[in-house]
Amino acid sequence: MSALRFRRPVTDSELADWQHVHNTIIPAHLLSLDDIRERSRRHHLEVAYLGEELVGCSTVRPPEDGTRTATVIARVLAAHRGRGFGSELYARGLDRARELGAQVVETVVLSSNADGLRFAERRGFVELERYVLPGETVPWIDLRRR
């Protein structure tokens, strides 16, 4: 098995790969390429590949407004779960959050994503809040790392 390779999405193809992972895992909150381009200016995004095969993506929302809290989100396509790829994405995101000055790490998981919720809980995250965004029906769960 070859190692994962990571790319910050810059090209339309890389942005489309990040979009595919996000929209597959979070179908209740579909993002356009323009949405992702805008996010890539505010957040640290990465796409993970095994050889040429798309595996997952991540987002690091840096601390804002003097807070020391960053949000780290790792997403892995279902066919690649259970092989440690999420852990690699998460570890990279955690390192990046620390580089950006984070002392507290949070994540957010769509409540219908049981695999994602278990992943977060196994890494020491505890639930802070559940909420439904306007126009949506599936609750989001904010979690904080203990």
Closest CA to 60 of 48, 72, 76: 72
At 140, the amino acid letter reads: W
**Domains located in the chain, CATH noted:** 4-145 (3.40.630.30)
Task: Report the run of H or E that residue 99 belongs to, with start and end.
Answer: helix 85-99
According to the model, what pLDDT value does residue 66 have? 82
Give the Cα separation of 93 and 30 in Å (integer): 22
Give residue 28's pLDDT band: very low, low, confident or very high (50, 70, 90): confident
Give residue 1's pLDDT band: very low, low, confident or very high (50, 70, 90): very low
Give the Cα separation of 15 and 93 in Å (integer): 18
Closest CA to 19 of 3, 8, 30: 30
Query: Is residue 32 over pLDDT 70?
Result: yes
According to the model, what pLDDT value does residue 2 have? 53
At 129, the amino acid letter reads: E
Segment 69-125, tens digit of pLDDT: 999 999 999 999 999 999 999 999 999 999 999 999 999 999 999 999 999 999 999
Rounded to a whole number, what is the distance in angstroms from the first to the last CA of the chain?
33
Segment 41-84, tens digit of pLDDT: 999 999 999 999 999 999 999 998 888 999 999 999 999 999 99
